[in-house]
Structure 1
Amino acid sequence: MNLTISGHHLEVTPAIRDYVQAKLERVKRHFDQVIDIAVILTVDNLTEKEKRQKAEVNLRLPGKTVNVASMSHDLYAAIDTLIDKLDRQVMKYKSQLQEHGHKAIKHLPEEQIIAAA
């Protein structure tokens, strides 16, 4: 799994890098077939009152790419909400994969087909 952390208008410090890696462990714990992760951290300097910190992630899974973005006034808060959103989407994708493997109707006994109808 490849992990890329980049910053736009922001220098990615080792503390931020460690924080993002620690948070991404939760996603890797729930779904271990991750191909690569690209995290983009951005600071929008509109005015002093309206500073916005934005965190985005592109997560490639087998057969799907998950894109998530989050904004906040604090970069760490943006990363936290980003990871929460990402975790929910990965868990949803994992449950879809697990539910897809149900048995076809033609392989079920006739009693179950009649009972289901």
Structure 2
Amino acid sequence: MNLNITGRHVEVTPAIRDYVSTKLDRVIRHFDNVTSVAVILSVEKLKQKAEVTLHVRGKDLFVESDDADMYAAIDSMADKLDRQVQKYKQKMADHNHEALKHQEPEA
């Protein structure tokens, strides 16, 4: 898995880099088909913003979150991404079961 962290108008310190990677490890633990992750951290006046694009086989998941604190924005982003990954994983599992139900039984 490739992890790319970019800062817009903010310096990405090793502490922030470690914090983002630990939060994303929790999300990626749920779903192992992740090919790459792109994180963009930005500051606009008093708003701290965190965005992530998660590339999985067949789909890209995008989440953004903003807050007054960068760490709070990262936490919120990780929670939203976790919910989206679980929803996508469940949807993929449901489709696989539907395909098995519609197969003709072999005699």
**Same-fold call, TM > 0.5?**
yes
Deviation at 1:94, TM superposition (A): 0.4
Map of 1:93 onto structure 2:
88
User: Aligned partner of 1:23: which letter?
Assistant: K
Letter in 2 for 1:20: V
Structure 2: which amino acid aligns with 1:84?
A: D
Q: How does 1:1-117 map to 2 (within 5 A)?
A: 1-45=1-45, 51-102=46-97, 103-104=101-102, 106-107=104-105
* 3-state SS, counterpart of residue 35 of structure 1: strand
Distance across 1 between alignment mates of 2:93 and 2:76: 26
Unaligned runs of 5+ in 2: none
SS, match of residue 34 in structure 2? coil
Distance 1:85 1:105 in 2: 35
TM superposition shift of 1:28: 1.2
Deviations, residues 94-113 of structure 1 (Å, cap 9, x unaligned): 00111112211644xxxxxx
Corresponding letter in the other structure for 2:62: N
CA RMSD of aligned residues (A): 1.3
**TM value normalised by structure 1:** 0.84
Counterpart CA distance in 2 for 1:35 and 1:58 is 11
Whole-angstrom CA distance in 2 between matches of 1:28 and 1:69: 17
Greater Cα radius of gyration, structure 1 or 2: 1
Give the Cα–Cα distance (whole angstroms) in 1 for the partners of residues 94 and 40 of structure 2: 32
Q: Distance in 2 between matches of 1:36 and 1:70?
A: 19
Distance 1:105 1:21 in 2: 42
